[in-house]
Amino acid sequence: MSDKLTSQYEKCDFCNKAKNDVKKLIVGDNVAICNECVDLCGELLSELANATINVKEINDIDPVELKEFLDKYVIGQENAKITLSVAVANHYKRINNKNSDIELEKANVLLLGPTGCGKTLLAKTVARFLDVPFTIADATSITEAGYVGDDVETLINKLLSAANGDVEKAQRGIIFLDEVDKIARKGESTSITRDVSGEGVQQALLKIVEGTVCRVPAAGANRKNPQAEMIEVDTSNILFIAGGAFVGIDAVIKRRAEGSGIGFGVDVKTNKDADLKDLEPDDLVKYGMIPEFVGRFPTWVSLTELTEEQLVYVLTEVKNSLIKQYQFLFNQDNVDLEFDKDALQYIASRAKTRKTGARSLHAELEKTLLPHMYSLKEYKNNKLDKVKITKDLVENPQKIAI
């Protein structure tokens, strides 16, 4: 063996560690591997074997059962719950389809609706029902590859982390793309300058939404390290649920409805608000979504602003509701917490005026309950074992005088 060839075997070809720095260097035909890399490969292979065994088959989802599960966590939004349940059931039918003659097309879901009406909550709850990895990605934080910010592969990487590195599991997970309306192209004309935040991002998302094989660094690996092990993740069975408020889209719908009315003798009531239920794909394109993006979300459904009555239910009825959470906190000091009906109604009506849906309930409750939480120890020492929140205590938050 020539000197040159011998020196080639002085280091591991996988991690570059010198022969003297490892216990054993195994030399093969033109390649060398150290004992540490052999161990690592062993671990990776056993993880892969376990992963295949652990993946739960999601067969035969009954949309009715899923809808009933959603009912426990999400108030109202009947239409969205039914549409989403059917879409999810069909998605898993498609994944499990063994019939090669009929290939079912992928149908990602788009949820439209004002802020705080339950879009993210719906997607999260579906993932909880299915027990699949779930990740939320803010579309506004994504940039085209090459720009500063997350690129689309980061989404897959996040999902892989949510699946604890289990590729098989990640490949059946759900990615919630939040705020997709914010990556709408600005204006209808195509801009000459490159649109980093809008159209470019939509373009970048097309491939992974439709289904492609992404190469991402293994979970936990440093992205910057060129030696990091890369893993292939197929996105074709990942369900994408997109959400967006699409502020102003009602005007687009209205304009189209009015436009099509001209000359056809159709009576369009111009002073009536456009209904999101009448949304057509073209409206989304007019809004600034590129047609290819819209085409990949064939199922869409609109959510409605919550009514005052529904906001009261959000406070009291859902599993893990805010009030149940505060009651738990009070109970830690042996104090019970109760609310008058009037008080709940008043909190809901105040929250409603803020126009941020159920999101403002938390702030309203916090403001009302702060003086009491501050005084819980005092209440306890004075044997006050119940706090009843009246409408007056919501209007003028103050501790109970002892």
Ligand X SMILES: Nc1ncnc2c1ncn2[C@@H]1O[C@H](COP(=O)(O)OP(=O)(O)OP(=O)(O)O)[C@@H](O)[C@H]1O
Are 160 and 219 within 8 A, CB to CB?
A: yes
Minimal distance, residue 83 CB to Mg ion, in Å: 17
Q: Which is nearer to Mg ion, 120 or 203 (CB)?
A: 120
CA distance 103 to 106: 9
Among 74, 142, 162, 337, binds ligand X (CB under 6 A): 74
Alpha helices in 174-272 (DSSP H): 199-210, 249-261
Query: Structure tokens of 182?
Result: 């914010």
Of residues 255-314, which lie at the interface with ligand X (CB under 6 A)?
Answer: 306, 314
Residue count, binding to Mg ion (CB under 5 A): 3
Binding string, residues 278-317; x marks residues near Mg ion by CB under 5 A: ----------------------------------------
Among 11, 34, 58, 77, binds ligand X (CB under 6 A): 77
Query: Structure tokens of 141?
Result: 């934080």
Is 356 a binder of Mg ion (CB under 5 A)? no
Q: Which residues contact 288 (CB under 8 A, 6 or more apart)?
A: 184, 185, 186, 187, 188, 198
Among 58, 88, 95, 118, binds ligand X (CB under 6 A): 118
Binding string, residues 162-191; x marks residues near Mg ion by CB under 5 A: ----------------x-------------
Q: Give φ, ψ of 313 to 5 degrees.
A: -65, -40
Q: Which is nearer to ligand X, 203 or 356 (CB)?
A: 356
Beta bridge pairs of residue 138: 178
Are 246 and 182 within 8 A, CB to CB?
A: no
Is 120 a binder of ligand X (CB under 6 A)? yes
Are 298 and 239 within 8 A, CB to CB?
A: no
Q: Which is nearer to ligand X, 117 or 231 (CB)?
A: 117
Alpha-carbon Rg for the chain, nearest whole angstrom, is: 27
Is 37 a binder of ligand X (CB under 6 A)? no
Is 120 a binder of Mg ion (CB under 5 A)? yes
Q: Which is nearer to ligand X, 133 or 244 (CB)?
A: 244
Minimal distance, residue 43 CB to ligand X, in Å: 38
Binding string, residues 331-370; x marks residues near ligand X by CB under 6 A: --------------------------xxx-----------
The listed partner (ligand X, Mg ion, none) that binds 77, CB under 5 to 8 Å by sort, is: ligand X
The listed partner (Mg ion, ligand X, none) that binds 359, CB under 5 to 8 Å by sort, is: ligand X
User: How far out from the chain centre does Cα 61 lie?
Assistant: 21
Q: What angle do CA 308, 310, 350 make, to 5 degrees?
A: 30
Q: Which residues of 10-41 are buried (b: 16+ CB within 10 A; e: fewer)?
A: ebbbbeeeeeeebeebeeeeeebbbebbeeee
Q: Which residues of 43-65 are buried (b: 16+ CB within 10 A; e: fewer)?
A: eeeeeeeebeeebeebeebebee
Are 77 and 320 within 8 A, CB to CB?
A: no
Strand duo 213-217 + 230-234: pairing = antiparallel
Tell me the window of 39-47, 115-123, 275-283, 358-366 that interacts with Mg ion (CB under 5 A). 115-123
Q: Which is nearer to Mg ion, 111 or 216 (CB)?
A: 111
Q: Which residues are near ligand X by CB under 6 A?
A: 74-77, 113, 115-121, 178, 243, 245, 306, 314, 318, 357-359
Q: Which residues are near Mg ion by CB under 5 A?
A: 119-120, 178
